[in-house]
Amino acid sequence: MQITYRPAEQSDANAIAPLMSEASYGTMDFLLNGVIPFISSNKILAMLVGRDDNEFSYKNTTVAEADGKVIAIANGYPAARHGVNDAMEKFIPNERLDIMRPFFNSKAPGSLYLCALSVAEKYRSQGIGTSLIDVAREQAKNQGLNKLSLHAWADNTRAIKLYESKGFHEVETFPIEKHKQLQAHEGGIVLMAVDLD
């Protein structure tokens, strides 16, 4: 199987959205579910990915492709842009934003923030996630940034092990208030970073 890594295109939005949602480990569903009646959170996310005016945009995304199909994604942008913006304040209910505010306020200055890294289940354990992290390293260097950063739910041990194997270390861990619409997690969220050599 030949895997190609390339910048995402607008036409990839519908393939990127479910992978981005999966990478969020329930966070995207919590934030977006029901904010537009009769439109699923994945469809809303696909609309955001298809635009070029937000951090989730295809323009900030690299895809891995096999057999003409998107099988993995990495979405990243400068950490300085990670946070709650005016559009989110208007669009997402305050109750949900308030629960996730510690996440949006947590960042590693001077880093390229990996918002989403996801590999379709069938293609896991083949080095694709590692290759996407390597692509992100180069993107960070090309943008003059000196590190990579990301968040992971503390109970997502598989992802944390991958990140640690790539040199990421814990910067901080913070709790997230439980909510009936937010997938249950233990241990809060971990901000991780790695310096670029």
Q: Above 90 in pLDDT, residue 178? A: no
Residue 84 is predicted with a pLDDT of: 92
Please report which confidence band the pLDDT of residue 63 belongs to, taking 50, 70 and 90 as the band edges: very high
Q: How far apart are CA 51 and CA 10, in angstroms?
A: 7
Which residues constitute the domain of residue 151? 3-195
Q: Which string of b and e fits 92-128 if b means at least 16 CB within 10 Å?
A: beeebbebbebbeebbbebbbbbbbbbbbeebeebeb
Please report which confidence band the pLDDT of residue 136 belongs to, taking 50, 70 and 90 as the band edges: very high
CB-CB contact of 49 with 24 (8 Å): no
Domain count, the chain: 1
The pTM of the full predicted model, rounded to 2 decimals, is 0.92
User: Which stretch of 61-65, 181-185, 187-191 has the lowest confidence by average pLDDT?
Assistant: 181-185
Tens-digit pLDDT profile for residues 8-59: 999 999 999 999 999 998 899 999 999 999 999 999 999 999 999 999 999 9
3-state percent helix, strand, coil for the chain, nearest multiple of 5: 40, 25, 35
Please report which confidence band the pLDDT of residue 123 belongs to, taking 50, 70 and 90 as the band edges: very high
Q: Which residue has the higher pLDDT, 178 or 111?
A: 111
Please report which confidence band the pLDDT of residue 179 belongs to, taking 50, 70 and 90 as the band edges: confident
Percent of the chain at pLDDT > 70 equals 100
For the chain, first and last CA: distance in Å?
31
Please report which confidence band the pLDDT of residue 181 belongs to, taking 50, 70 and 90 as the band edges: confident
Residue 113 is predicted with a pLDDT of: 97
User: Which stretch of 100-114, 116-130, 174-188 has the lowest confidence by average pLDDT?
Assistant: 174-188
What value does the mean pLDDT take over residues 81-95?
91
Residue 26 is predicted with a pLDDT of: 87
Can you give the CATH number for the domain in which 79 is found? 3.40.630.30
Q: How far apart are CA 39 and CA 22, in angstroms?
A: 18
